[in-house]
């Protein structure tokens, strides 16, 4: 069982928007502004898409955005494209003892 | 160009040992903490261990504490993970990742391609 809870799957049609939630506790997501999101295609390494809740690394399209409310972080992908189909994982800093905790991952299907 | 490249994976029997290596290039190795993150077949990501840039601090997930040891050789720009008393549940692809900030495990900005460790008799 993962420390952070994500929906197992989400789907959307090209051009639509989808939001993936990531629910933790006040000891991780709610306690720090250090939530990151990673995209992983089959057989590939994770690719960072969002860090520090809402910042985008260089090269990531602005269709990807992140936010947080209380103990739940969210990744929103607008203007869905076929290439966005992948697994998405959230990660949160959880303090100097536990450090990093990941969500179980969400499979995004572009219909 | 920043690169991290893992090696050392393979098949090992339960109770056995294995040492993974992660060769880093394209950045000042001693200035960054580094982490190991693993992914069991068909499962999600799990942070395993981290070491500060200076090598003075180490961190472990409870699932590997006492069995795994992280270390780094700054002269070789290489991170290691010594894995002892291996169990079937340690079977996974092990990724080496650079910690982008001073907050260890807050954000991993560069990842290697991973190396597969299979624990089986």
Which of B31, B19, B10, B108 is closest to B77 using CA atoms?
B31
Q: What is the pLDDT of residue A1?
A: 59
CB < 8 Å to A46, chain B: 37, 45, 95, 108, 111
Inter-chain residue contact A36 with B107, CB threshold 8 Å? yes
Q: State the DSSP string of A14-72.
A: TT--EEEEEE--TTTTTT-S-EEEEEE-TTS--EEEEBTTTBPPTT--TTEEEEEETTE
Q: State the DSSP string of B14-76.
A: TT--EEEEEEEESS-GGGS-EEEEEE-TTS-EEEEEEE-TTS--EEE-TTTTTTEEEEEEGGG
Give dist(CA B102, CA B25) in Å, integer.
Answer: 19
Say if CB A58 and CB A64 are below 8 A apart: no
Q: What is the mean pLDDT of residues A103-111?
A: 96
Find the CB nearest A52 among B61, B107, B113: B107
Inter-chain residue contact A100 with B35, CB threshold 8 Å? yes
Burial class (CB in 10 A: 0-12, 13-18, 19+), A91: buried
Find the CB nearest A48 among B50, B104, B109: B109
Q: What is the pLDDT of residue A30?
A: 96
Q: What is the pLDDT of residue A2?
A: 64
Q: Percent of chain A at pLDDT above 90?
A: 92
Split at pLDDT 50, 70, 90, the class of A109 is: very high
- Kindly tell me if the per-residue pLDDT of A104 is higher than 80: yes
Give dist(CA B113, CA B39) in Å, integer.
Answer: 12
Taking the CA of residue A102 and the nearest CA in chain B, the distance in Å comes to 6
Q: What is the mean pLDDT of residues A40-66?
A: 97
Within an 8 Å CB–CB cutoff, is residue A48 touching chain B?
yes
Average pLDDT of chain A is: 95
| CA angle (A47 as vertex; A44, B109 as ends), nearest 5 | 130
Taking the CA of residue B63 and the nearest CA in chain A, the distance in Å comes to 11
A79: left (phi over 0), alpha (psi -120 to 50) or beta: left
Say if CB A94 and CB A103 are below 8 A apart: no
Inter-chain residue contact A34 with B35, CB threshold 8 Å? no
Q: Which residues of chain B have pLDDT under 70?
A: none
């Amino acid at each position: 069982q993962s420390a952070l809870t994500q929906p197992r799957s989400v789907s959307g049609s090209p051009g639509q928007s989808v939001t993936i939630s990531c629910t933790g506790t006040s000891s991780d997501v709610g306690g720090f502004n250090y939530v990151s999101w990673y995209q992983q295609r089959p057989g590939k390494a994770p690719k960072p898409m969002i860090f520090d809740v809402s910042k985008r690394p260089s090269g990531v399209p602005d269709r990807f955005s992140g936010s947080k409310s209380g103990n739940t972080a969210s990744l929103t992908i607008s203007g869905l494209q076929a290439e966005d189909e992948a697994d998405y994982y959230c990660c949160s800093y959880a303090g100097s003892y536990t450090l990093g905790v990941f969500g179980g991952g969400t499979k995004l299907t572009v219909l | 160009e920043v690169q991290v490249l893992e090696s050392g994976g393979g098949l090992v029997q339960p109770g056995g040992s294995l040492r993974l290596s992660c060769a880093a290039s394209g950045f000042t190795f001693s200035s960054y903490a580094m982490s190991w993150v693993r992914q069991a077949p068909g499962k999600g990501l799990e942070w395993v261990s981290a070491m500060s840039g200076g090598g003075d601090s180490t961190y472990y997930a409870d699932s590997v504490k006492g069995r795994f040891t992280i270390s780094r050789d700054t002269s070789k720009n290489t991170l290691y993970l010594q894995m002892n008393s291996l169990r079937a549940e340690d079977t996974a692809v092990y990724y080496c990742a650079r910690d982008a900030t001073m907050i260890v495990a807050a954000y991993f900005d560069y990842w290697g391609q991973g190396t597969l460790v299979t624990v089986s008799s």
